[in-house]
Amino acid sequence: MTASLLVLNGPNLNLLGTRDPEAYGTASLDAIETELDASFSSVEFDFRQHNGEGALIDSLHDAHEQNRDGIVLNPGGYTHTSVALRDAVDAIAPPTVEVHLSNVHAREDFRRTSRIAPVCVGQVSGFGAAGYHMAVRYFLQWT
């Protein structure tokens, strides 16, 4: 294994595949996770998705306690609202890359602000499911 990563998806991302395919594509979350697994045989993945803020925070704490090498996080709508999620990302040791399927900067005004991005290594936005691959590559090549 070269890296142990948490891939954490937030609210409504369990509906990928049927939810607003123009914005988010047609791949299900399960398909995205299966493809990541197949593409990066050297990575040990912990895939999780929660709709609730508390469960997302608990998973971030778990990644810290399990000494994960990094976190790939799509916080969904909490991106734009959650101080508690931001504080959790800031409080833990594993570095986090924020991922969005859609280009949040080309959509409604309220999506242009991320409360999470300032405490992340960086943000990948607008590349669909490929964004998750880009984030994993960061951890393999530059950490």
The answer to whether 25 contacts ligand DQA (rule: CB under 6 A) is no
The answer to whether 95 contacts ligand DQA (rule: CB under 6 A) is no
The answer to whether 76 contacts ligand DQA (rule: CB under 6 A) is yes
Residue 129: CB minimum distance to ligand DQA, A: 10
Taking alpha carbons only, the member of 136, 121, 113, 102 closest to residue 33 is 136
The answer to whether 82 contacts ligand DQA (rule: CB under 6 A) is no
Question: Which residues have CB under 8 Å from 105's CB, separation 6+?
Answer: 111, 112, 125, 126
> Which tokens go with 3?
């890296």
Pick the piece of the chain touching ligand DQA (CB under 6 A) from 28-36, 38-46, 95-103, 115-123: 95-103
